Chains A and B, each alone.
Chain A
Amino acid sequence: MRKKKPVAAARAKTTTAAPAKRSTSVGDGADAQQQLIASRVRAGLFALFTLLSLAITSGSVGVEGKFAFWVDKVGGTDVAFSVPVVLLWAAVTVGFGAMAALQLVRGASFRWRLAIGLVSPVLVFALLARLLDGTTANLTVFFTSTLLYTVPVGIGALAGIIAERSGFLNIAVEGKLLFGAMIGSIASSITGIAIAGPIAGAIFGALVSLFLAWLGIRYKVDQIIAGTVINIGALGVTTFAYLRILQPYSEFNRPIGITPIQIPFLSDIPVIGPILFSLSPYFYIAVGLVLFFTYMIYRTRWGLRLRAAGEQPNAAGTVGIDVVKLRYRAMLVAGLLAGFAGSYIALSGTGGFGVNTSAGKGFIALAAVIFGAWNPVYAFGAALIFGMTSAATTLLSGLGVSLPPQILLSMPYIVTIIVVAGLIGRVRAPASAGRPYDQG
């Protein structure tokens, strides 16, 4: 997040002569002014949400929200409880009201991302309860599917972040997910070894990524165009391979699935155990990767150089850092991660690879990159929110609640557009992401 200067903002607002002793530079004032505008827009949005949820609150009197948890293990005994929907919505209303007020009072220094993170879960529940209208929903399923949906999106976002921090726009996450899924499935099927899937997927993802890097760095092909070509090409190639090879010779598409593991002791904790500690190993690896790379990006020499190359490659180049090599390496890591994430889709889902099996998760990952301001932890948080909307859609359609699923599914994109437009808060991309590096 950017440095905040509410005082400077207030000063820049006055258009008449503003004699300031320690005057900030012209650009600084403009920046602060923009932040002030953004924070007012946010306050307005939050106020609007407050009114909306107030309206829903008053319309929800008497409706019971019924939820259930599996206590001991997935599919085990369950415990049900019910909450008046009014109460949930009242909480949401209070939450949004507080956000609007705080945003207005504290201006740009209000940590609105955190606030959204705190209110959204309650909001999702309130929405669910309202839509379910008395039907019981199993929350263990809801939570685990949220977390699992987060795996490919979160790792994909990490791939995007590492590439873009080095200055290379990684539009092709989606394509790498697809390739990773297909190659992972084939490798696992042929060898009969579960671990071969993720490894092969990661390696192939890296190859695709290096190819993209080669086009963009060596030949300075526009990175957006090259990435888009890879995305389209990946869909074409994998679909063709599926129809011509994997379907007729289905022994190539019967991977050894990577099944959930029970973490000793922890998975025995009532309610929480089945949700958090009985998941696919992919999930724990994803969390580990996010924490590891967050440390690497912000606290190590590697990260310092990575960020320098993405912001101001000339500054890095003139102190002897090999920017070209650094970007290739970053793209290699990004490819490994994206291919690995892709293998998850084929290996822990319905079994095997299918046409367009990634279904846009690579693009959602890019949205999470932006929403998370190029910070792996924030991006993972964004992926969690997106995952929740997806899990909610699945849950509702499973229970026969009629709601066009597109409405919830389009949320991540709508949110991203608002964020990218800079309306509710500015995120600053690495300054040189997408620009080829010219030495000298």
Chain B
Amino acid sequence: MRLELQKITKQFPGVLANDRISISVDKGQVLGLLGENGAGKTTLMNILSGLYRPDSGKILIDGKERIFRDPAQAIDAGIGMVHQHFMLVPVFDVTESVVLGNEPTKGPLGSFDRATARAQVVELSKKHGLHVDPDAKIESLPVGVRQRVEILKALYRKSDILVLDEPSAVLTPQETEELFEIIRGLARGGTSVIFITHKLNEVIAVADKITVLRRGAVAGETTPKKATAAKLAEMMVGREVQLTVSRSKSKVAEPILQVKGLNVLNDAGGLAVNNATFEVRSGEILAVAGVQGNGQTELVEALTGLRLVDSGTVVLEKKPLHAGSPREIAMAGVAHIPEDRNRDGMVKGMTIAENYILNTYHLPQYSKSGLLNRKAIAAATEQAVKDFDIRTPSISTDIASLSGGNQQKVIVAREFSRNVRLVIAAQPTRGLDVGSIEYIHRRIVEQRDAGAAVLIVSTELDEVLALGDRVAVMYEGRIVGILDAKEATRERVGLLMGGITK
């Protein structure tokens, strides 16, 4: 089926999320929908799936206008969604998950006809080469398989148009390649696919046609043959972008952070970090790669004092830190850019100045006998706003009103305002626009060049490969390999991310 969206507009309070967006996809075609976070991709998708209704504009399927009042109508029209956050019930099994909403029944009470449902799921997965165990519980399945269940859900509903929202975010490169194979197979079979992503290489690899969104509007259309990554990035951002971080060779000196046999438990009491041993030296960036949820969060929390260390040692320049409080660790020269800036990085509702001194307010230059020295704080913050190019009306603005990129700059400015020996940056560019990403990367590299040790944790392989002088890979809590930048190819790191060490 051919799907066409004509001049879709959706206004939210204060934001024009979709501004006359027109896109189309033909039968058997793969459309890559490219855009940064906040470009309006998700809103457009929610309109297409019947969750939102557009303020104006039309949805045409095979030339006929359709109006979706709720998700059921979109499904009936043949649109199948694979959401970024999977829409699966953890305690259900695969069969139940696939047929939920269109269950085969028998008898007067509407008894669930499990046998028929199971047979349908088995047949469907065979037909499309999507291998899953129909009786497995969802919660016991790895993410890659859960995604296959999501695709099966769409196919079970006879979707002719399959929409995938950031489908590779939780996959290893190999799993992503498998997903591409599945997408190509479906397209050959006549399914139209809309592939939503912010990763340039992926659209080039899998799409037949590329539409780029920027700030809620279509910024351009092209094909993978004509496009290059640089051109696409330019369309996405609206100006020329440096995709690779320019940096000199690292001048590695003595080890600054030494971690030995570190074990850390997760909230449920399970082993999240399993016997981690590594060191980070002055003047180098150690990038930790891994699919989300393999212990990286717990590792960072343990190193920064936010989580108790179960056993093992953490030493910063001969000073043991594994029993230190967050403040002791910060004062020892550790800068922490947290993974979730909304939760751990700032206090919304407080001003930029207050956020700037969040972990140094107790120092004599900012407070005396419990009273804050407002003048000194204001002066320091003004300087930081200038130095870090933080776009804000004033330093007494609520930090919540800044853009994500500027919020992150406040955090980076704060963390780099102390004497920095070690930088721990977890997902430092998540959800930021390309411009801010460039800026944050440059600042981190500057710290390295000034002689600090840098530990970056990222699930974006591109970021890891661009920044890491060495690359460590975490899988199920263990560090399964540490590679030099030369050896760290996409393939090798990808295999390690999947736990394959040979």
Which residues does A use to contact B, with CB under 8 Å? 3, 12, 15-18, 23, 25-31, 33-34, 295-296, 299-305, 307-308, 311-312, 314-322, 428, 431, 439-440
Max count, chain B CB within 10 A of own CB: residue among A18, A33, A312: A312
B178 within 8 A of A: no
- Main secondary structure on B side of the interface with A: loop
B230 within 8 A of A: no
Task: Name the A residues within 8 Å of B87 (CB-CB).
Answer: 312, 314-315, 318-319
Tell whether, in the assembled complex, residue B92 and residue A308 are in contact, meaning their CB atoms are under 8 Å apart: yes
Tell whether, in the assembled complex, residue A17 and residue B294 are in contact, meaning their CB atoms are under 8 Å apart: no
Task: Name the A residues within 8 Å of B96 (CB-CB).
Answer: 304
Q: Give A334 to B52 CA distance when docked, in angstroms.
A: 31
Query: In the complex where A304-B103, A319-B100, A431-B90 touch, is A29 in contact with B110 (Cβ < 8 A)?
Result: no
Q: Give A27 to B272 CA distance when docked, in angstroms.
A: 8
B residues 103-117 near A (Cβ < 8 Å) are: 103, 105, 109-112
Tell whether, in the assembled complex, residue B270 and residue A30 are in contact, meaning their CB atoms are under 8 Å apart: yes
B residues 69-98 near A (Cβ < 8 Å) are: 70-73, 75-76, 81, 83, 85, 87-92, 96-97
Task: Name the A residues within 8 Å of B308 (CB-CB).
Answer: none
Tell whether, in the assembled complex, residue B112 and residue A299 are in contact, meaning their CB atoms are under 8 Å apart: yes
Q: Give A136 to B76 CA distance when docked, in angstroms.
A: 70
Query: In the complex where A25-B142, A318-B71 touch, is A311 in contact with B83 (Cβ < 8 A)?
Result: no
B211 within 8 A of A: no
Task: Name the A residues within 8 Å of B91 (CB-CB).
Answer: 307, 311, 428, 431
Interchain CB contact (< 8 A) of A318 among B83, B111, B269, B499: B83
Besides A23-B476, A318-B71, 8 new A-B residue pairs in contact (Cβ under 8 A), listed by A number:
A15-B310, A23-B499, A25-B476, A26-B272, A28-B270, A31-B268, A300-B110, A319-B153
Tell whether, in the assembled complex, residue B100 and residue A315 are in contact, meaning their CB atoms are under 8 Å apart: yes
The contact sample of 20 A-B pairs, CB cut-off 8 A, is A15-B263, A16-B275, A18-B271, A26-B271, A26-B293, A30-B265, A30-B268, A33-B270, A295-B109, A301-B111, A304-B100, A307-B89, A316-B89, A319-B71, A319-B75, A320-B72, A320-B75, A431-B91, A439-B51, A440-B51
B residues 258-289 near A (Cβ < 8 Å) are: 263, 265-266, 268-272, 274-275
B393 CB to closest chain A CB (Å) equals 31
B501 CB to closest chain A CB (Å) equals 11
Closest B residue to A28 by beta carbon equals B140
Sorted nearest first, the 8 A-B pairs with minimum C-beta distance are: A30-B270, A320-B72, A319-B101, A30-B268, A440-B51, A315-B87, A17-B275, A312-B89
Q: Give A15 to B266 CA distance when docked, in angstroms.
A: 13
Query: In the complex where A299-B111, A304-B100, A318-B87 touch, is A15 in contact with B49 (Cβ < 8 A)?
Result: no
Q: Give A414 to B310 CA distance when docked, in angstroms.
A: 33
Query: In the complex where A16-B275, A304-B103 touch, is A320 in contact with B89 (Cβ < 8 A)?
Result: no
| B: number of interface residues (CB 8 Å) | 54
A236 CB to closest chain B CB (Å) equals 38
Tell whether, in the assembled complex, residue B90 and residue A320 are in contact, meaning their CB atoms are under 8 Å apart: no
- Main secondary structure on A side of the interface with B: helix
Tell whether, in the assembled complex, residue A320 and residue B101 are in contact, meaning their CB atoms are under 8 Å apart: yes
Task: Name the A residues within 8 Å of B269 (CB-CB).
Answer: 30, 33-34
Tell whether, in the assembled complex, residue B71 and residue A317 are in contact, meaning their CB atoms are under 8 Å apart: yes
- CB contacts between A and B, total, < 8 Å: 128
Task: Name the A residues within 8 Å of B477 (CB-CB).
Answer: 26
Task: Name the A residues within 8 Å of B103 (CB-CB).
Answer: 301, 304
Interchain CB contact (< 8 A) of B89 among A26, A34, A301, A315: A315
B307 within 8 A of A: no
Tell whether, in the assembled complex, residue A17 and residue B274 are in contact, meaning their CB atoms are under 8 Å apart: yes
Tell whether, in the assembled complex, residue A12 and residue B49 are in contact, meaning their CB atoms are under 8 Å apart: no
B295 within 8 A of A: yes
A363 CB to closest chain B CB (Å) equals 27
Max count, chain A CB within 10 A of own CB: residue among B52, B101, B140, B293: B101
Task: Name the B residues within 8 Å of A314 (CB-CB).
Answer: 85, 87
A293 CB to closest chain B CB (Å) equals 11
A438 CB to closest chain B CB (Å) equals 10
Closest A residue to B107 by beta carbon equals A300
B58 within 8 A of A: no
Q: Give A303 to B81 CA distance when docked, in angstroms.
A: 24
Tell whether, in the assembled complex, residue B100 and residue A302 are in contact, meaning their CB atoms are under 8 Å apart: no
Q: Give A295 to B52 CA distance when docked, in angstroms.
A: 36
Max count, chain B CB within 10 A of own CB: residue among A3, A308, A318, A439: A318
Tell whether, in the assembled complex, residue B72 and residue A26 are in contact, meaning their CB atoms are under 8 Å apart: no
Task: Name the B residues within 8 Å of A302 (CB-CB).
Answer: 109-110
Closest B residue to A319 by beta carbon equals B101
Interchain CB contact (< 8 A) of A30 among B81, B266, B310, B478: B266
B418 within 8 A of A: no
Tell whether, in the assembled complex, residue A3 and residue B100 are in contact, meaning their CB atoms are under 8 Å apart: no
Query: In the complex where A17-B478, A26-B477, A31-B268 touch, is A440 in contact with B46 (Cβ < 8 A)?
Result: yes
Interchain CB contact (< 8 A) of B88 among A12, A18, A312, A428: A312
Max count, chain B CB within 10 A of own CB: residue among A34, A311, A320: A320
Tell whether, in the assembled complex, residue A27 and residue B266 are in contact, meaning their CB atoms are under 8 Å apart: yes
B residues 44-77 near A (Cβ < 8 Å) are: 46, 49, 51-52, 70-73, 75-76
Closest B residue to A11 by beta carbon equals B271
Q: Give A303 to B112 CA distance when docked, in angstroms.
A: 9
Interchain CB contact (< 8 A) of B70 among A23, A307, A315, A320: A320
Q: Give A305 to B105 CA distance when docked, in angstroms.
A: 13
Tell whether, in the assembled complex, residue B270 and residue A27 are in contact, meaning their CB atoms are under 8 Å apart: yes
Q: Give A318 to B165 CA distance when docked, in angstroms.
A: 14
Query: In the complex where A17-B478, A321-B100 touch, is A26 in contact with B112 (Cβ < 8 A)?
Result: no
